[in-house]
A and B are shown apart, each in its own frame.
Chain A
């Protein structure tokens, strides 16, 4: 099976702009989660989507939003970018099957730099 793919791999934006990141999960996985990773804060959970519905949400401002499509692909949007949004954004999919313990399969991430 192909792994989780994320596009683009690198992005440079300026403050105030918005950005959309894309994630394609492993075939058959219906749960997609997004994380922000920075050297200072580590891996922080943004939100999780399952069957096109947001199932869990972390403690991030409303500028961070996401959605999931019927084919399980997911997008994450950040509006009004701030310097502090510079980070590695990771997408992970999970089979969500009973006994899978929500094991996460991560993509390579999108490195976002805000200038």
Chain B
């Protein structure tokens, strides 16, 4: 079983600050996905990273896949209240089967 650990579990920051969320495993993944879930809704896919060392940017969000494809990070620059949510990472094995992390709850206050 591939276990994905996310840290921190909870993060509270003020608008305008930066934050980084981490997703780590001892196993290698074929690809890794990041989702954001808002209260009362299902998770929404933000990005998929595939290549070791890959960096993808989505406006103020920067996603990085580790060189060894065992870890990933999500960095948010100048956070806004709309960034509040539960951030989930999910690693896929070679068969495409997904393993989700427990999530990082991010709260951005005005």
Contacts and interface: CB of A to CB of B under 8 A. Distances in A.
Partners in one complex: yes
Interface of A: 4, 35, 42-43, 45, 56, 90, 92, 101-109
A92 B98 CA distance: 12
Contact of A101 (B35, B88, B96): B96
Interface residues of B, number: 23
Contacts of A108: 40-42
A105 B96 contact: no
B92 interface: yes
B96 A102 contact: yes
A99 to B, nearest CB: 9
7 contacts: A42-B102, A42-B103, A45-B98, A101-B48, A102-B92, A104-B98, A108-B42
B50 A101 contact: yes
B33 A103 contact: yes
Interface in B13-71: 30-31, 33, 35, 40-45, 48, 50
Contacts of A92: 42
Contacts of B31: 101
Contacts of B40: 108
B41 A109 contact: yes
Contacts of B103: 42-43
B92 A101 contact: yes
Interface string B71-110: 0000000000000000010101000111111110000000
Contacts of B92: 101-102
Given A56-B97, A101-B31, A101-B50, A106 B102 contact: no
Interface centre among B31, B42, B43 (most CB of A within 10 A): B42
A42 B42 contact: no
A13 to B, nearest CB: 20
Interface centre among B30, B48, B50, B96 (most CB of A within 10 A): B96
A103 B97 contact: no
B88 to A, nearest CB: 7
Contacts of B97: 56, 102
